[in-house]
Amino acid sequence: MRLLLGALCAVGLGCGTALSAADAPAPPELHVDCRGAPTASPTVILQAGAFGTSADWDFVLDDLAKGGRACAYDRGGVGASPPRAGGEDPLSIARELAATLDGLDESAPVILVGHSNGQLYVEAFAALWPERVAGVVYVNGVGVDDLDDPSLLGYLAQERRLSDMAVVSARLGLAPVAAGAVIGAEGLTGEAAARKRLALTCLQCLETARDEDRQIIPGLAAVRALGEVPPAIPTVVIVGVTDPDSAASRAWRAAEIAPALRARRSWILDAVGATHVSPLSRDRAWIVAAVDWLRSEAARAAP
C-alpha cells in the first residue's frame, strides 16, 4: 500500500467471540497460486497487504516451494478473484481464509505469513483457529499493538484517506501509471506482472481494496477483542527499515516486535536497509529464513 501511495504521489494524487467458517456465507472460489510439492513440513500461506495480491509473492513463492508447498491467494474481489460473499473487515477475511484452506484440503496446521495489513488478517485467523496455525511471520506488519500508539493510528488514518486516491486515480485514467511504477519497483515480470497490473487498473478491484483499508482501524479493536494470539504459536517478526533512528521507525518497530515478545518461541529480524515492500522481492531472503526456522520448529515439535 505504501508503495502504491508513493506512485500516486508521483502523478499528483496525494503525497471475543469464537467464530467458525460456517458462520460466513459460502465463499466463491478464489484465485490461489500454489507451488511446490506437499511434504511433512506445514504448507505456507502468504497473505498480502493493502492493495496486494498473490502476484506480489511471485519471487517468494518460488523460493519457498523448494522446501515444500507454498500458496498465495487473491482475496475476494481483488485481483483475479470474484467478489467475496462477506464483508471487508478482518474477521470476514479471516473466515474467507479458513474456507479457502478447507477448499485446498489443508486440514493440518499451516504457517501464515502476513505482510503489512496482512498481519491483522493473520492475527484474526490465529486468534480464531489457533489449532490450525503452526507458526506466523509478520513482515512490516500492521497489528493490534498499533492501537497503543496514537502516532501509528494517525499514520493509518492518513493511509486510509490516501487509499481513496487510488480509486480517484482509476476514475481519472491514471491507474496504469501508478501500476507501472509499482510493478517496476517490485521487479515483477511475465504473468505476475500482468496479474498485478490487472489488480491495480481494475476499478472494482481498487474499490474493494480501498474498502478493506477503511476497515483496518476499526478492525484493530475487533481483532484485539478476540483475545491475543496464543503465545504457544512460534512467531517471527521482520522489521524492514531504511532509517532505523527516526522517531517513526522506532514507533513502528516497538509495535511490530510486540507479538514476538509475547510468544514463547520467537525470532526478531531487523532487516535494516529493506523498504516496506523489498522483502517481497530483493530482500526476500529474510522471509525464507523465517519460514525455514518455523519449518524446523514444526519438525521439532512433531511427535
Query: 243-255 pLDDT, tens per residue?
Result: 999 999 999 999 9
Whether 95 is covered by a domain: the verdict is: yes
30: containing domain:
17-151+185-301
Confidence of residue 2 (pLDDT cuts 50, 70, 90): low
Contact of 48 with 208, CB cutoff 8 Å:
no
Residue 173's identity, in one-letter code, is G
pLDDT at residue 197 tops 90:
yes
Total structural domains within the chain: 1
Whether 210 is covered by a domain: the verdict is: yes
> Would you state the pLDDT for residue 205?
95
Q: Please, what is the average pLDDT of the chain?
A: 91
pLDDT at residue 11 tops 70:
no
The pTM for the full model equals: 0.90
> Would you state the pLDDT for residue 25?
47
Q: Kindly state the DSSP code that residue 33 receives in the 8-state scheme.
A: E
Whether 1 is covered by a domain: the verdict is: no
> Would you state the pLDDT for residue 64?
98
Whether 110 is covered by a domain: the verdict is: yes
Whether 214 is covered by a domain: the verdict is: yes
> Would you state the pLDDT for residue 204?
95
pLDDT at residue 21 tops 80:
no
Summarize the confidence of residues 74-100 as an average pLDDT: 95
> Would you state the pLDDT for residue 27?
53
Task: Give 132's contacts (C-beta < 8 A, 6+ positions apart).
Answer: 98, 101, 109, 110, 125
CATH number of the structural domain spanning residue 108: 3.40.50.1820
CB count in 10 Å sphere of residue 106: 19
> By mean pLDDT, which of 23-37, 69-83, 110-124 is the weakest?
23-37
> Would you state the pLDDT for residue 13?
38
pLDDT at residue 5 tops 90:
no
What is the C-alpha R_g of the chain? 18
Residues above pLDDT 70, as percent of the chain: 91
Summarize the confidence of residues 39-59 as an average pLDDT: 97
> Would you state the pLDDT for residue 17?
33
> Would you state the pLDDT for residue 124?
98
CA dist 10 to 3, 159, 178, 266, 290, Å?
11, 16, 8, 39, 34
Whether 36 is covered by a domain: the verdict is: yes
170 vs 64, more confident:
64
Query: 208-258 pLDDT, tens per residue?
Result: 999 999 999 999 999 999 999 999 999 999 999 999 999 999 999 999 999
Whether 157 is covered by a domain: the verdict is: no
174 vs 296, more confident:
296
pLDDT at residue 162 tops 70:
yes
> Would you state the pLDDT for residue 301?
87
Contact of 84 with 27, CB cutoff 8 Å:
yes
> Would you state the pLDDT for residue 140?
98
CA dist 147 to 155, 157, 213, 263, Å?
12, 12, 16, 19
pLDDT at residue 71 tops 80:
yes
Confidence of residue 260 (pLDDT cuts 50, 70, 90): very high
Summarize the confidence of residues 189-208 as an average pLDDT: 95
